[in-house]
Amino acid sequence: MDTAFQTPPGQMHGSGTRVARWRVRIGERVYGPYGADQIKTYVDEGRILATSLLAPEGSEDWRKAARHPELAVYFAHASEVTREGTNESAQEGAAATKPDGEGNVLIFLEDRWRPDNALESAIRKLGRAQRIHPSLWVLRTRFSAHAIRSHLSQYLDENDHLFVVDATNDQAASYNMGPDADTRLNAVWSKS
């Protein structure tokens, strides 16, 4: 077996069986299986969040990633922004984009937009924001695209899709577009 797909020693599924590979469900699509090392990489990159649905290979035990005991450790410090606002690590980790520390960000939400005061409030907590189309926001903020995605994903469900573009820093992040969305994006989006 390829070592990239081996479960680290002691990593057991809640049922007591070893889990070497995981599947990720986004809407009706299933991706994977991925090895534990790849899942950890996706978590570190923000491609898989605590709220992402995962199941062990060969199982239909779909749960939020943080609810799988063997994956919960990956999310102990993963959140950069909380529902209450910004935490200290986000303030330290957010990339300064201009001398004043702010940059321009576009937030695209799939056209399933529904009136949601909590989501609108969450966007506005990130900085100066204007909704310029039913599924498009422009934001002046000090937070990275990845921090914004992590923050807003708490307000979205498994059928919602989010794409965040940091126009100042030439970065992008997505939610619910598949774990390989960033790879596909990077195949055409390069800094020149």
Residues 140, 104: Cα–Cα separation, whole Å: 5
Same fold? 3-75, 95-188: no
Residues 120, 125: Cα–Cα separation, whole Å: 9
Locate the domains of the chain by residue range.
3-75, 95-188
Q: Are 30 and 19 in contact (CB under 8 A)?
A: no
Instruction: Tell me if the pTM is above 0.75.
Output: no
Identify the H or E element spanning 146: helix 145-152
* Arch. (CATH architecture) of 95-188: 2-Layer Sandwich (3.30)
Residues 81, 69: Cα–Cα separation, whole Å: 23
3-class secondary-structure state, position 56 = strand
128-167 pLDDT tens trace: 999 998 889 999 999 888 888 878 887 887 778 899 999 9
Say which CATH class 3-75 falls into.
alpha beta
83-112 pLDDT tens trace: 344 443 333 334 434 445 789 999 998 755
Identify the H or E element spanning 140: strand 136-141
User: What's the mean pLDDT in 54-69?
Assistant: 90
